[in-house]
Structures are given as C-alpha cells and as structure tokens.
Structure 1
Amino acid sequence: MSRALLLATLVACFPQPARAAEPAPADVFKQDNLVAWCIVPFDAKKRTPAERVEMLQKLGFKKYAYDWRAEHLPTFDEEVGLLKKAKIELTAVWFPANLGADAQKLLEVLKKHEIKTQLWVTMGDPAGKDQAAKVESTAKALKPIAEEAAKHGCKLALYNHGGWFGEPENQIAVIEAIKLKNVGIVYNQHHGHDHFDRFPELLKLMKPHLLALNINGSAKGGDKVGKKILPLGAGELDLTLLRTIRASGYSGPIGILGHTQDDAAERLADNLDGLKWLLPELAGKEPGPRPTYRTWK
C-alpha cells in the first residue's frame, strides 16, 4: 500500500474532530446591552437615587447613564453606591466641558468607587474663522478633560447636540487633533434628524470611534413638528435605522431615552415595549400588535 493510500485510510478511520462552531454575534439590542439615559432631571416623579435604582431594576436595566443638574450632585455618591450594590453598570456620566468644581466632584466620586466609565461632553459652536481654527480650538478645550479622564481610567465621548459640534465629521476631526486613545463619540439619534438620509454613511464613518449610540423613535423632519423625541416604534424611520445599526456590526451600548417630563419609568417602558415590538420584524418575522404607549398618543 502506498504511503498516500495508507494516510487516506487512516484519516477515514480516524476522522478529525469537528471544529467548534463560531460563536453567534451578540445581539446589540438585547436587554443587557441597553442603557437608561436622561432620567434624572427628566422625571415627573423626581425620584430619589434609591427610587431610581429600584426603577432600573424593575425594568430590567443592567446599564445606566447619569445626567444631572446642580441639585442632584450632592447625592451622586449615594447613587453610585446603590448602583454598585444593585450590580448596575454606570456606563456613562454627563460631564462639563471644563474641569471646574462640578467636574471635580464627579471625578472624586468615580475615584472613590473605582468606577471607570464614559464622560459625555458637548460644546457650543467653537471660535475660529475657518474649519482648521474651529477644530484646533475645540481640541485645545477638550484635551485637558481627556487627559484627566485617562488618569481615572475613563473615556471622553463627544456628544452631538446640534450645531457645528454635533456634526460627526467635525467630531472625528477633533478626535484626530486630540490624539488620545480614550476619546470617542456618543451618537444621539434625537439630535440627528438632519442626518437620517445619510445615516448609513455616517455610522460607517463613526464606527471606529463610537462608544455609545442612543436610539429614539424617529420621524423625518420630526424635530420641526413636535416629534423630536418619540417612543420607539412610533416613528416611521425606526425599523430602517435599527436595521442599519445591526448591519453595521456595531456592538457597543445602546441608549434608551427618557428625556421627557413624563414619569421616567413609563417613558422607559414605552421605549422597551416599542423595541420589543420592532425586533421580530427586524428579524424578518411578522410583528405583533403595536404597543399601547403610556406617554404618547
């Protein structure tokens, strides 16, 4: 018997073990990846930290982004402690565009509790007569914050809120000018109504820098007709935008919006119900009955 035939016989008799199947990609819209956002000053019930953490637990959130006003900062330490006890990740903190007293208070609490998180920062239109000058002045203002964030193991995320600073191309130019690895983008659909037509292109551009993505019920021109912030499932663009996100391969946190003066628990529940209603159709299945919203008609 030739060596080749002998080898073939041995292989046939002793087949190689099957390769382990490639793990399925994580579902970016699964409950454990959803981040409750804009629920501190935006809450008709004005919950205490303990009440807010209890609300998050009841709704099944494992992640939370903290927004605040001056009156909330004295209880930030308490809130972070309660989040740790409840095993809810503090995914992000709304952060000033400076290192003043409020910023130091936030960093002090994060350091005390050994929390490494994202710092979400927005700015108004920068000084400068041309694009290069605007990028330079913005990078100069933000670099000290990024450097301080790095000392605490945190990341700085540029938050689009309209204007020059809210354009992804400008944010990317600023990131490239800062030249630090801990700087990225948090993108907000409710501040991106002018981007809907080119969202796939922008998402591809942002993806290498994207640290978080906050979704919203979206209607074309909705920001001009009182529909800037809708519950998921109430906007005609929602399914298309979710498909774009899933197809992009983005796998980071997905923010679920409060941001109205309704009961924050009800608004979050409306968004969760809307997302749950959209997901079957996103998978090519028939959707069930549209949810009945608590905070939107």
Structure 2
Amino acid sequence: MNKILLALLIVSGLTGPLAASDLFDRSNLAAWCIVPFDARNRSSEERAEMVAKLGIHRIAYDWRAKHVPEFEREIVAYQKHGIEFFAFWGVQDDALRLFEKYKLHPQLWIMMKGTGETQEARIKSAAKGLQPILAKAKAIGSRVGIYNHGGWGGEPVNMVAVCEYLKKNRGADNIGIVCNLHHGHTHLDRLPKALEAMKPWLLCFNLNGMDIDGEAKGRKILPLGVGTQDVKVLRQIRASSYSGPIGILNHTQEDAEGPLLDNLDGLQWLMPQLDEQAPGAKPKYRTWRERKK
C-alpha cells in the first residue's frame, strides 16, 4: 500500500484490519508444544536458548510428570534469556507455588467437560468444574483459558457460553478462551462467525496450516504455507480485529527447532499474500514432505 495513503488512514482511524498489521510479527508470537514434543529432549536452558535465538519472546509451557522437578530451572532459564513464561498447561500445585515465588502470572490452559442431558446442564457442569481452577488462578493473578481440544468442550459456541455463564453467575473476571486451529479443522466453514463470538474472550490464537477436513485426511498438523486455506484463514483472523498473542506450533516428534522455523518461514511467505501481493519463493521446509498420492 502507498505509504502516504497508509499514514492518512492511520491518522483518520480508518485502518480497520490494517491496525492488526503487527499481529503476526515475531514479537507477538508464542512457542507452543515444544517441551514433550521434541526429539532433542532439550534441557530448560537449551530450550530457552533455542527459542530466544529464533526471536520469540514467549513460551506456552506444556509438560509431563518427568518435567515437574525442572519447573524452577525452566523459569530461571526463561528469565535469563528474556522470555515470558506466557502460559502453563493445566494446573499443578508445585508450579503455582513457583509462580507465586517468582511473581509470574501465566495463563492456565484448561480443557473443559460438560455433562448432562441438556445444553444448560452441560454448561453448568463445565462451569462448576472450572471454578476451583479459577480460584487458584485468581490467587496468583492469572487467567484461565478454555482450550479447545475437540468434542463438546472444544466447540466455540460452548466455550463462549461457559465464559458468559461464569461471568454472569459467578462473577468470574479471569476466564477466557485459547483457540487452536489444529483442533479446529471442522470449524473452517464458520470461522469468521466463531471468531466474532470468541473475540471478547480470546487470550491466545494458535496457528496451524489448514485444509478443509484436514484432520480427517491425515493433515492435522501442517506447517504454515502448506495448508490450502492458510491465506484465507489468516485474513479472517486479521479482519476480526483480534489483537492478542499468536501461538506458533511444534507438536511433532521432530527436533522442535525445525517445525518452529518451518512455521516462521511459512508465515513470512504468507504475509504478502494477505494484501494480494506476490510472495517470494515458497519455503523449503525442513520437517515436512508432501505424501505421494
């Protein structure tokens, strides 16, 4: 776009989606699914060094039982490399104590489950299950993000309904939604509508290469730029005026640096196309090969 025209639009406040031009900038990205999904099995220090080298300054921390003794080392390593301990998978008392000790307030990413014969009953049961977690998060100044992971609890309309119920009936002011494209292949046909409903609650939006019915076709985890719907989806996210953090996914059994680099390269290749500009050469992916049909 002509620079003079862009400046006039900014001054006039008429930029619309252009106001989100920094949405996909590396400074707004968070690395996700890089701890138990790493063939290198990096230490806390090695992981922090790797992510910092990529120019990413946030990590959403997923873990397994073997990582519990390393929680404090992880925090210290992030601080050393200027990385924000942005989010934590689930709830774990040792971690909560450390967050309080180090005055950290990461988002807690939680799956929800609703039970009952009616939609109202499922909403109430899901809200009830989240209330103890909300209280623990509140005590350390954190927010809880409902994490879509398939099923009833992963449907945008249900996540929004539970957020609204908790705010209206329980006064919850630290509840929100974490949207994951790799668990949302079936949402593509209604993504703009879902984004509009979720936007007041969105805490983070995690990207992934996207195909129509991708999961059913064995293409659940794709690097950005590989999916046939990627330009369309990124345009929809930008047009929604969502302005929060964006997650970049590993979630493979490769060396975690490879998929992160593939996604960063893919994102850079896609960006000009959002404004109908010609992209450069398509990235040579390190960890992805198209299967022969």
Fold conserved (TM > 0.5)? yes
Aligned-pair CA distance for 1:22: 6.5
| Identical columns (%) | 51
Q: Which amino acid aligns with 1:143?
A: Q
Contact 2:108–2:144 under 8 Å retained in 1: yes
Give 1:1-297 correspondences, 5 Å limit.
21=11, 25-26=19-20, 27-96=22-91, 103-123=92-112, 125-179=113-167, 180-297=172-289
Aligned partners of 1:295 and 1:169: how far apart in 2?
Answer: 34
SS at match of 1:91: strand
Aligned partners of 2:275 and 2:106: how far apart in 1?
Answer: 32
Contact 1:81–1:113 under 8 Å retained in 2: no
Aligned-pair CA distance for 1:284: 2.3
User: Structure 1: 5+ residue runs without aligned partners?
Assistant: 1-19, 97-102
- How many residue pairs get aligned? The number is 271
CA RMSD in angstroms, aligned pairs only: 1.4
Q: Which amino acid aligns with 1:83?
A: Y
Q: Which amino acid aligns with 1:211?
A: L
Q: Which amino acid aligns with 1:176?
A: E
Aligned partners of 2:102 and 2:201: how far apart in 1?
Answer: 27
Higher alpha-carbon Rg: 1
Deviations 1:108-128 (A, max 9, x none): 1111110012100013x4321
Q: Which amino acid aligns with 1:110?
A: F
The match for 1:9 is none
Aligned partners of 2:38 and 2:88: how far apart in 1?
Answer: 17
Deviations 1:168-221 (A, max 9, x none): 111111112222111000000000011000000100110000010001001111
The match for 2:6 is none
User: Structure 2: 5+ residue runs without aligned partners?
Assistant: 1-9
SS at match of 1:83: helix
Aligned-pair CA distance for 1:226: 1.3
Deviations 1:121-143 (A, max 9, x none): 013x4321111111111101101
SS at match of 1:229: coil
SS at match of 2:263: helix
SS at match of 2:188: helix
Q: Per the alignment, do residues 75 and 273 of structure 1 end up closer, same or farther by CA in structure 2, a change over 3 Å counting? A: same
TM-score normalised according to structure 2 size: 0.90
Aligned partners of 1:219 and 1:295: how far apart in 2?
Answer: 18
SS at match of 1:288: coil
Aligned partners of 1:221 and 1:47: how far apart in 2?
Answer: 33
Aligned-pair CA distance for 1:70: 0.5
Aligned partners of 2:87 and 2:245: how far apart in 1?
Answer: 10
SS at match of 1:203: helix
Contact 2:114–2:124 under 8 Å retained in 1: no
Q: Which amino acid aligns with 2:57?
A: K
Aligned-pair CA distance for 1:281: 1.1
